[in-house]
Amino acid sequence: MKVRDIIDILKCQVLNEGALDEEVKTACGSDMMSDVLAFVKDQSVLLTGLMNPQVVRTAEMMDMHCIIFVRGKKIHEDVVALAKQKDITVLATPYRMFTACGLLFSNGLRGGCDIQ
Amino acid sequence: MSMLHLHYDVPGDDFTRAGEASGDVKHKLKRLGYEPDAIRRVAIAMYEGEINMVIHAGGGEATVDIDPDKVDILLQDHGPGIADVSKAMQAGWSTAPDNVRSLGFGAGMGLPNMKKYTDLMEIQSVVGEGTTVHMVVNPGQKGS
């Protein structure tokens, strides 16, 4: 799917618009950036409920191009400003983590793990 | 003399700035045309190190030497030091306080992750004096 499709599927608000027509195949959902840095490989979308600038830095290091903040949380402008600087798309969905991941999975996005 | 010599102060009092140095190195390697896999390995390993210096040591310094066949990263702090380095290298072992976990870190994956992504990693630590971490990434080797 394209990043643009995620906006519709998860009823997202777009906080920073990067490359919306980019094709994405895999995603990961985590509130622990340590785990994202340790276990993620080649996933281009990050779903998280954690809201600090280190989410953007983690996505940057991992070459992820799209961050989705779940549970309709209010995102601090510092976070959005950093994402803008790094050219990373930032979306906010009202869905909770489990539902957001489930909706994306049922629409074809995968986790990219070996056991799938 | 390396092709490119970089030095960064990593401030210990501002968690939001942790990762600035790693981001800059990543950007420079990209511009120099290094392969994406090597760039990512350098970025992750150095970022983990930066986070460690901010969380545990009140900041420190990062020195990076970039050559065609090797990226050399030296992280130095004057923090409390690591009492048992072999224990700290175990996945899941952490001394990070709860407030660090609430920031998304402190899962005990930092040092093992730095070792995983680099071709060489050495730690020298003296309790009460500080810690030095030396890492080397050779583009074209290992693969994450």
pLDDT in tens, B22-59: 999 999 999 999 999 999 999 999 999 999 999 999 99
Q: Which of B124, B11, B128, B16 is nearest to B81 (CA)?
A: B128
Residue B138 is classified by DSSP as: -
Q: With CB atoms and an 8 Å threshold, state whether B107 touches A38.
A: yes
- Render A21-48 in DSSP notation, one character per residue: T-B--BEEE-S-HHHHHHH--S--EEEE
Subunit contact A54:B16, Cβ cutoff 8 A: yes
First to last CA, chain B: 28
What are the tokens at B41?
A: 């390995």
Is A31 within 8 Å of B47 when comparing Cβ atoms?
Answer: no
Closest in B18, B109, B116 to A54, CB measured: B18
Q: Each residue of A13-45: pLDDT tens digit?
A: 999 999 999 999 999 999 999 889 988 877 789
| Inter-chain touch B109–A58, beta carbons under 8 Å | no
| Partners of residue A43 in chain B, C-beta under 8 Å | none
Q: What are phi and psi of B137, to 5 degrees?
A: -120, 125
Q: What is the ipTM of this complex?
A: 0.88
Q: Which of B103, B108, B113 sits opposite A37 (nearest CB)?
A: B113
